[in-house]
Structure 1
Amino acid sequence: MNNFTSIIGAADHLDNSSDHNEFDTDVFIVGTGPMGATTALALASYGVRTTMISQWSWLANTPRAHITNLRAVEVLRDLGIEEEAKKYAVSWKEMGDTLFTTSLNGPEIARLETWGTGDLRSGDYVKASPCTMLDIPQTYMEPLLVKNAAERGAKVLFSTKYLGHEQDANGVTVRLLNRASGQEYSLRARYLVGADGAKSQIAEELGLEFEGHTARAGTAYVRFNADLSSYVAHRPSILHWIMNPAADFGEIGMGLLRAVRPWDEWIAGWGFSVDDGEPDLSDERVISQIRTLVGDPDLQIDLQGTSTWYVNQQHALSMSKGRVFCGGDATHRHPPSSGLGSNTCMQDAYNLAWKLAYSVKGYAGESLLDSYSDERTPVGAQIVARANQSRLDYAPLRECFNTEMGDGTKSIEAGLARLQAPTQEGADLREKLATSLELKNTEFNALGVELNQRYSSTAVLSDSHEVEVFALDPQLHLQATTRPGAKLPHAWLVGANGRRISTLDVTGKGRFTLITGLSGQAWKDAAQDLNLPFLDTLVVGEEQIKDPYAYWARVREIEEAGALLVRPDGYIAWRQIKNTWEAGEAGKQLSLALEQVLGTTLASLVTAG
């Protein structure tokens, strides 16, 4: 029996036929994007009856989100689809440098080693996780998530429009429209998840409060096919910023060529003033602009579509009300800078899904579900601020390439002449360019932003009143720790078969894990005595799992006889740095910790037979 089916099987005895008659599904999800589809996949993996709808008859039809950071790949890994995801991804190595250039065919201005691929940072990324970053366009990610959710039992309904809901003390009644037949009908669920995007009807119905503003800048996006391999194959990069007078407008003031699939499927982007209305996106204008950005006046272009999007800076001050939960773009709205969008959506889902599963199975009280909003709302605020700041941080870089001429016109040659001048002024400008480029590490090599998220809620039992002090810049560098509220550090262990296995691989899968060492036998005995269907025990040093590299010993921050309680989402709920308890006391301490985290009494749980 695998880890997923073990928790499903252990919970079968909790099923109640009368409940099944009252509820058409346990969790109803509106939206099939990264947040909705990841929630459905996780819940289906945990054995929870799940229904997910889309008002459309298709999944994502534009590439949109694409950067998949280490934490999101760890989510895919825990849900058992990392290897499948790699089949559709641009690999970490190919993600490569980010170029700042006058055109793809013109003189370069600067390069930045990005996404942790460079010599200065790659070791940090390798040490941080058993996974690598991937580039998976949303046109591939959504089908991957939805397919696997459906294969594991989630019901997926297309052409089904959400009309509204009413919740009561026991559940939620959801009103729907079958867009194909025109029929209106209702379904009954225990819980409702609003993953319905940046114009979320569900968030509006709940009256969720938002901070910030929308549409402060605009960007034109053009999807096109063209073979650009001769310009980029020798210097792989998925992002090319074009510093050219033709794109010197808008908030960033640069054009963008993004490789969707190397090296013949692309997106071209450039800013426009919101005050001036919609930009000219005629075929003639678009083709001319793309040729300018590429630097090839005769380039053959196959246009696929045009669109505009607006820069938002807005986040919800809470993410749930009663039995209804929102997440993803419904609660944090921001530009794609820093590549945090779909990653944060997937992590919202991963945080929420196990809590819903435990509530459905009767393992948890109301406080566990309340912890979702407490934990993820601050993350939403953080990433909205970071993504918008990343856009503003292009200004110093742009100032280093002044293309203005004496007559008020602009030219690339003027910018290059200033930047390459063999004078003190030129030297100062080049020094400023290097400093400005360094600032962009907070967008493109921000390992800390991606992995240093800390949770504070009733589902985390802090063991210190001291504020965590970061030894290095917390935006750029991961600070691995076993402090409650932090993600379990990755460390390579060795299994009974002699193969390496990550600490992340021996935890999760919808279950709590108690980790201790050989001299922590009291904790192992305590966990066995509790006989809970959702709790595993990992004794590092026993035959089946060893620490021959002493990697775990370096990062565990507890004595060998201490203990860590790791949640199903890989976050540490509680720890005991040392075991100072007398015989029998370990069980009491573990029981108390579980009861506080779950918001219930263990006596109320039906243990596995």
Structure 2
Amino acid sequence: MSSNFTDIVGAADLRDREADPASAYDTDVVIVGTGPTGGTAALALASYGIRTMMVSQWSWLANTPRAHITNQRAVEVLRDLGVEEEARRYAVPWKEMGDTLFTTSLAGPEIARLQTWGTGDARSGEYVQASPCTMLDIPQTYMEPLLVKNAAERGAKVSFSTKYLGHAQDEHGVTVRLLNRNSGQEYSVRARYLIGADGAKSQIAEEIGLEIVGHTARAGTAYVRFHADLSRYVQHRPSILHWIMNPAAAFGEIGMGLLRCVRPWNEWIAGWGFDKEAGEPDLSIEAVTAQIRTLVGDPSLELEVEGVSTWYVNQQHALSMSKGRVFCGGDATHRHPPSSGLGSNTCMQDAFNLAWKLAFAIKGYAGPALLETYSTERVPVGAQIVARANQSRLDYAPLRDCFNTDAGNGTRTVEAGLARLRATTAEGAELRQRLGQALELKNYEFNAHGVELNQRYASAAVVPDGTPEEKFERDPQLHVQPTTRPGAKLPHAWLVDASGRRVSTLDVTGHGKFSLVTGLSGQAWKQAAERLDLPYLRTVVVGEPGYEDPYAYWAKARETEEAGALLVRPDGYVAWRQLSSVWEADEAEAQLREALETILATPLRHPVPAR
């Protein structure tokens, strides 16, 4: 590692900070796009005191509630950024997300149910133990304003009706060209870094030459937003997803239609597949009204169509997510169907991973090499969730095969399918057994706790501790395995603060800083941190007032001796750990210094303030 600080952070950047950064840069970071990626990045950067400008070519935010499932990790991000409670006011609560139904129509006979999103008797305890946050259902029409409003309140500048035209980056920064769509004026903004959160047709990803692998437009789906009071069909069995298996309508690749509750119980989305080779489907008001009435099972249903659209199933992810001073994330780098509810969650986590690294680089706490770990850590996650979402679509086939509606006279009817499934015959018994097995398979979509929380980072921002490779005790897609291994998310455990209130280990770490976590016997670590006196490092001594462990939950979760230590990154991931006791402050300081210098790719020095 170079000992020359200016070689690492860049001589030009250091001179700019020593002089007047406002004269060299109009802002620190320009973000193109106001979706979950852009909004989370802007909120985090503004919270960290970074000058941020976010632009959107549109006049306002999301006009459709497309993304909605908000998993525990995404809610933890909201919690860290101080907006969890506000988000809950706009959400369908966890318990009301409820069962997922497989039925012939909302009014008709059910075929099967699955307790989903961790709400079921068999899984809810795991979800409660894994996080201080529950899952929530927050439509994108509510999530985007929440993120953008709070980012603006914390100092981010937001420009709507502002089209991104292009950029030019050099050794010292990025010049971004923009167009005010209202006035027609073109202008440029000089920034240190650029974030491309500009969606699945990302201009920025194309400009920096990101290699995207996979397939596009595998299947077509029609979505219709509508209003209708369906409470009489669903209020007694709350659920946000109802899969309809009915041959009276054509349902494409999956063979099922969908009714998704946006707001209980009068705002909905109806979805069904279509043959993309045959062109766009008939989406006239008459056609979609008839289709919705079939899905609901009410031929006289009064409804109001709000909007219609089509989308295509993609299976793509980027092999890298940055080039130089330009970074992409979210749908710009991973494109997939909404199955498994992973889309906006992954977008938000991309941004959360990137934001603290940019903040540390801008403030001079870290060298440029830290920024390279963004791509290293997030590319495997993007590949994983793209594969999982597409596999979840394929996993409907066994369920569909259990409901054979062939009436034997050239027609298909619900009655024929139900008769086979309910027959008191060997064939009926076999079908019911297969139906149970098909339901179990759908846990990989609807109760995939491990997919959501088991991400492990391997990069230069994680220091291995020399322990053997991790082995998962249960299926790593279905079950979360908390661990303090470097590269894993810090486990949640309840502590008690000085006032007697419960606080999570996630509450006393994060928030834009590194955290050194040790026990009462770890006074050497506390002394070491005091000696280093770094503005971005806090010490958490579990057992001291404010961090009591009366339940002994942390003692069970820490996987170290009491006088061992963990170094937790601002994004909540363990960067380094010392398993055994260290008693001398000199040794602790040497180990801590080496770990931080490795992770941050710079010698520990107090940098010149960014502004």
Q: TM-score, normalised by structure 1?
A: 0.97
Letter in 1 for 2:559: E
Amino acid at match of 1:402: N
Corresponding residue for residue 44 of structure 2: 42
Say which of 275, 278, 282 aligns to 1:276.
Answer: 278
Alignment match, 2:356: 354
Match of 2:10 in 1: none
CA contact (8 A) 1:565 1:575 kept: yes
Aligned partner (choices 71, 80, 87) of residue 85 of structure 1: 87
User: Among residues 424, 427, 437, which one is paired with 1:425 in the alignment?
Assistant: 427
**Hey, what does 2:312 align to over in structure 1?**
310
Aligned to 1:223: 225
- Name 1:160's counterpart in structure 2: 162
Equivalent position SS for 1:545: coil
Cα shift readout 1:528-562 (whole Å, capped 9, x = no counterpart): 00000000000001122110000001110000000
Which shows bigger deviation, 248-257 or 480-489?
A: 248-257
Measure the CA separation in 1 of the matches of 2:53 and 2:174: 13
CA distance in structure 2 between the partners assigned to 1:29 and 1:401 by the alignment: 48
Secondary structure of the 1:63 match is coil
Q: Which moved more, 1:228-237 or 1:578-587?
A: 578-587
* SS, match of residue 453 in structure 1: coil
Equivalent AA in structure 2 for residue 363 of structure 1:
Y
Letter in 2 for 1:218: G
Partner Cα separation in structure 1 for residue 302 and residue 378 of structure 2: 46
The one-letter amino acid of 1:350's match is F
1:316-343 deviation per Cα after TM superposition (whole angstroms, max 9, x unaligned): 0000000000000000000000000000
Q: Distance in 1 between matches of 2:606 and 2:419?
A: 76
> How has the CA–CA distance of structure 1 residues 296 and 218 changed in structure 2, closer, same or farther, with 3 Å as cutoff?
same
Who is 2:337 aligned against?
Answer: 335
* Unaligned stretches of 5+ residues in structure 1: 1-13
Question: Is residue 532–residue 607 contact of structure 1 (8 Å, CA) maintained in 2?
Answer: no
Aligned equivalent of 1:263:
265
Residue 209 of structure 2 aligns with which residue? Answer: 207
Following the alignment from structure 1 to structure 2, what is the Cα–Cα distance between the partners of residues 502 and 544? 11
User: Could you say which residue in structure 2 is the equivalent of 1:325?
Assistant: 327
Once the two structures are TM-superposed, the CA of residue 408 in structure 1 deviates from its matched residue by 2.1
Query: Which residue of structure 1 aligns with residue 593 of structure 2?
Result: 591
What secondary structure is seen at the aligned counterpart in 2 of 1:508?
coil
Change (3 A) 1:31 1:116: same
User: For the Cα contact (< 8 Å) 1:72–1:346, is it kept in 2?
Assistant: yes
Whichever residue aligns with residue 556 of structure 2, its letter is R
**Cα-to-partner distance string for 1:483-524 (whole Å, 9 max, x where unaligned):** 000000000001111111000000000000000001111000
Contact 2:525 2:585 in 1 (8 A): no
Change (3 A) 1:17 1:151: farther
Structure 1 letter corresponding to 2:33: G
| Residue 250 (structure 1) shift | 1.4
Read off the aligned partner of 1:293 and give its amino acid letter: L
Change (3 A) 1:16 1:227: farther
Please list, as runs of the form range in 1=range in 2, the aligned pairs for 1:519-530 lying within 5 A after superposition.
519-530=521-532
CA distance in 2, matches of 1:490, 1:505: 9
Q: Which residue of 2 aligns with 1:573?
A: 575
* 8 Å CA contact 2:528, 2:585 repeated in 1: no
Partners of 1:409 and 1:496 lie apart in 2 by 70
Partner of 2:182 in structure 1?
180
* Aligned residue identity for 2:547: I
Tell me how far apart the structure 1 counterparts of residues 375 and 30 of structure 2 sit (CA, whole Å).
18
Aligned residues of 1:533 and 1:607 also touching (Cα < 8 A): no
Deviations 1:99-155 (Å, cap 9, x if unpaired)? 000000000000000000010000000000000000000000000000000000000
> 2:7 maps to what in 1?
none
The question of whether the paired residues in 2 share the 8 Å contact of 1:247 and 1:253 is answered with no
Residue 506 of structure 1 pairs with residue 523 of structure 2: no
* In 2, Cα distance between equivalents of 1:82 and 1:400: 41
Sort the Cα spacing of 1:607 and 1:183 in 2 relative to 1 into closer, same or farther, 3 A.
closer
* RMSD of aligned residue pairs (Cα, Å): 1.3
Deviation at 1:605, TM superposition (A): 3.7
Q: Is the 8 A contact 1:130 1:502 kept in 2?
A: yes
Distance of 1:475 and 1:514 partners within structure 2: 30
1:253 aligned residue: 255
Aligned pair count reads 596
TM-score (norm 2): 0.96
Look up the SS of the partner of 1:462 in the other structure: coil
Q: Deviations over 1:366-421 (max 9, x none)?
A: 11100000000000000000000000000000000010121221000000000000
**1:385 pairs with 2:387:** yes
The answer for unaligned runs of 5 or more in structure 2 is: 1-15
Residue in 2 that maps onto 1:110: 112
| Alignment-derived partner of residue 476 in structure 1 | 478
* 1:547 matched to 2:549: yes
Alignment of 1:484-499 (within 5 A): 484-499=486-501
Larger mean CA deviation between 247-256 and 115-124 belongs to: 247-256
The 8 Å contact of residues 531 and 607 in structure 1, kept in 2 or not, is answered as no
Separation (CA, whole Å) in 1 of partners of 2:548 and 2:295: 54
Aligned to 1:72: 74
Partner of 1:8: none
- Deviation, structure 1 residue 18: 2.3
1:532 corresponding residue in structure 2: 534
- Partner Cα distance (1:307, 1:570) in 2: 38
Q: Which amino acid aligns with 2:475?
A: D
Counterpart position of 1:6: none
- Is contact 1:220–1:308 with CA below 8 Å preserved after alignment? yes
Which residue identity does 2:186 align to in structure 1?
E
Separation in 2, partners of 1:334, 1:320: 20
Are 1:457 and 2:445 counterparts?
Answer: no
- Corresponding residue SS for 2:20: helix
Kindly indicate whether the alpha-carbon contact (under 8 Å) linking 1:567 and 1:573 is maintained by their aligned counterparts in 2: yes
CA distance in 2, matches of 1:262, 1:230: 11
SS of equivalent residue, structure 1 residue 208: coil
Q: Retained in 2: the 8 A contact 1:247–1:271?
A: no
Cα pair 2:212 2:319 within 8 Å, conserved: yes
**Corresponding residue to 1:446 among 421, 445, 448:** 448
Instruction: Say whether the 8 Å CA contact 1:507–1:566 is kept in structure 2.
Output: yes
1-structure distance, mates of 2:585, 2:219:
64
CA distance in 1, matches of 2:196, 2:410: 51
Once residues 279 and 324 of structure 1 are traced to their aligned partners in structure 2, the CA distance between those partners, rounded to angstroms, is 39
Partner Cα distance (1:138, 1:432) in 2: 36
Pairwise CA distance, 1:442: 0.5
Q: Which of 172, 188, 191 in structure 2 is aligned with 1:189?
A: 191
Given candidates 517, 529, 532, the residue that maps to 2:519 is 517
Identity of aligned residues (%): 77
The answer to whether the Cα contact below 8 Å between 2:464 and 2:576 also exists between their aligned partners in 1 is: yes
Matches within 5 A, 1:230-249: 230-249=232-251
Q: Offset at 1:603?
A: 3.3
CA deviation after TM superposition for structure 1 residue 249, in Å: 3.4
Shift of the alpha carbon at 1:427? Answer: 0.1
**Distance across 1 between alignment mates of 2:32 and 2:175:** 13
